[in-house]
Chain A
Amino acid sequence: MLSWWLPENVATFGGEIDWLFHLIYYITGITFILVTVTFLSFIVIYRDRPGRRARYTHGNTPLEIVWTVVPSLILVVLTFLSVPAWSKIKMSLPQTDFVVQVTGKQFNWQVTYPGPDGRFGTPDDKTLLDEMHVPVGKPIRVNLRSEDVIHSFFVPSFRFKQDAVPGREIPTWFEVTKPGKYEIPCAELCGFGHSGMRAWIYVHTAEEYAKWAAANLAAQAPVAQTAQAKPSAAKGESDRR
């Protein structure tokens, strides 16, 4: 029942998370049904009725060993099955030439592209507010930072989440499989504007992205301003409280 409620997954590693989610869902679901049926039938069968004395027993060691070992084995298997996905998502960074810097700041996501020279911290950097553009089918490296408090970069459709911690830069990555427009909330309480701290990520096809980059990330300013005007209008609407 729960699993129908997951948002559509559009990231390469999302399938592995969803698979583990469903595996745990079925294991815990079956356990819950078995325990509930046992529990309810004991309550009905062994309710207080006259003329019967309760069974005098202090336990049953073989039975207790069984119900210790079986859950242990299931949990060990679950642990081993979780390891590859975790290594892939959080412990490795695929080779890529696409790097953006995302900085959380009360209460915006600032998305910085290195500009034509391919390096950060130079005058041709382009920073967008609450708006990110990436191509589909390419690993995206995100260097996550924060200027003030802890924020959390969450893209539900990518099954992606990583806290942004002031004082450090955390390299993360994802790869999207389907073009579209996806929401980026902030998942860590960051102050009174926390709820309104949301951005959009636009996933383009390779050609569309090239067109967008040429228009918005090229050397000079006028086009960049149009890119900034749009999100701030959208922001004004979302920030209405």
Chain B
Amino acid sequence: MSATSVSAHGHATHVGHHELGFWRTYVFSTDHKMIARQFLFLGLFMMIIGGLLALVVRWQLAWPETAVPGLGWLLTDTGGVLEPAEYNMAFTMHATIMIFFVVMPILAGAFGNFCIPLMIGARDMAFPFLNMLSFWAAAVAGVLMLFGFFVEGGHAAAGWTSYAPLSAVPEYTGTNWGQNLWCISLFVLGVSSMMGSINYVTTIINMRAPGMKLFRMPLVVWSLFITAILLLLALPVLTSGVAMLLFDRTLGTSWFKPSGGGEPLLWQHLFWYFGHPEVYILILPAMGIASEILPVFARKPIFGYHAMAFSMIGIAFLSWVVYGHHMFVSGMNPALGMSFMVTTMIIAVPSAIKTFNWLGTLWGGRIRFTVPMLNALAFVWMFVIGGLSGIFMASTPVDIYIQDTYFIVAHIHYVVFGGSIFGAFAAIYYWFPKMFGRLTNPLLGHLHFWGTFVFFNLTFFPMHIIGVGGQMRRIYNPLQYEFLQHQQHWNVIITIGAIGLGLSQIPFVINFFWSLFAGSRAPHNPWNANTLEWSAPSPPPHLNWGPTLPTVYRGPYEYSSPESKEDFLPQWQPSPGRVGAGRH
């Protein structure tokens, strides 16, 4: 351990010193790039499970109380028909897995690990051994979470928000060990996030290459930096919350149980004090990724670099003072609703700034429609819809009606799927050549993108409509309600969209594995990009660079600069013509 942590600090003498064995290279690796790949595989594997659970939920809502195709072998006593308790378990685990084991591992885990050292010109993370522990803690958390499917009484079924006392008393849901494992798994994941985020913050503050000033950092590094600070402050609140919940369930404490003098709303305060920053933990890295990819394929500098960085800082700051907008009708003092409405409205402003700056980046560009670019463009457009629908909930009176309907489900999926997942796909296609040293197949990439884009909108847009019609989220059978009968055809359309969305991922899986083994070899800089990672070989060797670290001469977005004949001017190249380091 000491050898790796010393070499990580950039001692040239250690470069290429030792050959590592199989276990130290592929399993218990302390190399940030291998840890990034491990997080990516964890996230993609869990995405399959989370996605299949979503299809089960959708089948039930479109054709209630009919057998789900292919589930007969699992639900033998009903022949594949879901019981209400199993339905609750399916959507609870869909959300838990997608948020904690897909989006966070892929965006913060994989691309945080991959991009930060390579883009700031460091040899590795500040604490490589801690970095390895953070992955293995996340993997253990994932195993614990999946194990919950096999325990007696089934998995947690109280929603991903696990509102107490429903989650605090086993009799109320009928699940016992499933909910306990949910708590334990998220506790372990919280520890993993702590280790990861301490590493990110320390690395970015201390280990930037010569010339890499804070305001020369690529925006994706800015976004990951701010995400890490949010993780560092938000996750411990959830971690303590789930520990208290577990104590209520198993040790007889009464934090959240009114029968013993506890307060159910305390859970909601703790949960959303974590949960709202969490939304930005999920979306900020995707914003950074879009800000990174748009300039590369528009061949233009990002529009308003400083405004982009400061708006992210603003979002992070405000994310702490808006959490109460999840609790407008919770029984919290309504006077508090007023102040939370004000802050919630304000947080829309930095998001608007970012959107207009992305449009400004496209203006006057030479846009190349590569697969990463298409995904980044889709991110921007879908984020606009998700952001605008958020304004409905910010207005407290409208939220009274909208709260807990499918309108919320539509909104969160436009932000987290339309935003974070499109951002993740953009990042995977963009950095794949650097990560694995091979190019992906553009035809399969286009097929994947267009299928995902079309079916995504077919799935999630109509959810706004049934939500406005009053359909509640988390109900087992919409046909039980007279006032929902007339809009059942939308549930069928949404489910067909969801099935299409699932099938659209097949070209991605084929492309990913085919390219991994048989794609053509990637050059150093296949996209003609400016940032430091493209100066290293593809894939970069252990410790990333040769004996000397790169020197940074300018900001990351000098595309089509008059200083250079080429339409890009990398950060690591000394000025070709005039003396001076460009802007920033």
Q: A36-B381, A163-B329 are in contact. Are A57 and B166 (CB under 8 A)?
A: no
In the complex, what residues of B have CB within 8 A of residue A187's CB?
Answer: 403-405, 472
Which A residues, 140 to 156, have Cβ-Cβ distances below 8 Å to chain B?
A: 148-150, 152, 154, 156
What is the interface size of chain A, counting residues whose CB is below 8 A from a CB of the partner?
Answer: 87
A-contact bits for B50-91, CB 8 A (1 contact / 0 none): 000000000000000100000000000000000111001000
Q: A17-B398, A28-B389, A159-B401 are in contact. Are A194 and B84 (CB under 8 A)?
A: yes
Q: Is the CB of A150 within 8 A of B359?
A: no
Q: Is B236 at the interface (CB under 8 A from chain A)?
A: no
In the complex, what residues of B have CB within 8 A of residue A179's CB?
Answer: none
Flag the segment in B107-115, B331-339, B538-546 that touches A.
B331-339
Flag the segment in B155-163, B225-233, B570-578 that touches A.
B155-163
In the complex, what residues of A have CB within 8 A of residue B258's CB?
Answer: 166-167
Give the distance in Å from the alpha carbon of A125 to the alpha carbon of B363 in the complex.
70
Q: Is the CB of B338 within 8 A of A83?
A: yes
A24 CB contact (under 8 Å) in B163, B329, B392, B559: B392
In the complex, what residues of B have CB within 8 A of residue A190's CB?
Answer: 166
B299 CB contact (under 8 Å) in A27, A54, A78, A89: A54
Give the distance in Å from the alpha carbon of A190 to the alpha carbon of B166 in the complex.
7
A-contact bits for B357-392, CB 8 A (1 contact / 0 none): 101101111111100000001001100110011011
Q: Is the CB of A191 within 8 A of B173?
A: yes
Flag the segment in A62-70, A94-102, A110-118, A206-214 that touches B.
A62-70
Give the distance in Å from the alpha carbon of A133 to the alpha carbon of B498 in the complex.
41
Which residues in B have some Cβ–Cβ distance to A below 8 Å? 65, 83-85, 88, 157-159, 163, 165-166, 169, 172-174, 258, 262-265, 298-307, 329-331, 334-335, 337-338, 341-342, 345-346, 348-349, 352-353, 355-357, 359-360, 362-369, 377, 380-381, 384-385, 388-389, 391-392, 394-398, 400-401, 403-405, 464-466, 468-470, 472, 474-477, 480-483, 487, 557, 559-562, 567, 583
Q: Which residue of A lies closest to B175 (CB)?
A: A192
Q: Is the CB of A35 within 8 A of B365?
A: no
Give the distance in Å from the alpha carbon of A161 to the alpha carbon of B397 in the complex.
10
Q: A56-B560, A75-B346, A83-B338 are in contact. Are A48 and B367 (CB under 8 A)?
A: yes
Q: Is A2 at the interface (CB under 8 A from chain B)?
A: yes
Q: Is the CB of B166 within 8 A of A79?
A: no
Q: Which residue of A lies closest to B380 (CB)?
A: A39
A156 CB contact (under 8 Å) in B355, B470, B475: B470
Give the distance in Å from the alpha carbon of A156 to the alpha carbon of B402 in the complex.
10
**Nearest Cβ distance between residue A137 and chain B, in whole angstroms?**
22
Q: Is A139 at the interface (CB under 8 A from chain B)?
A: no
In the complex, what residues of B have CB within 8 A of residue A75's CB?
Answer: 345-346, 348-349, 391, 394
In the complex, what residues of B have CB within 8 A of residue A150's CB?
Answer: 163, 165-166, 264, 330
Q: List 28 A-B contacts (CB under 8 A).
A: A32-B385, A46-B367, A48-B367, A54-B300, A56-B560, A56-B561, A56-B562, A57-B300, A59-B305, A64-B307, A64-B356, A68-B353, A75-B348, A76-B345, A79-B395, A82-B396, A82-B398, A86-B338, A86-B397, A89-B400, A163-B330, A166-B258, A167-B264, A183-B482, A186-B472, A187-B405, A195-B475, A195-B480
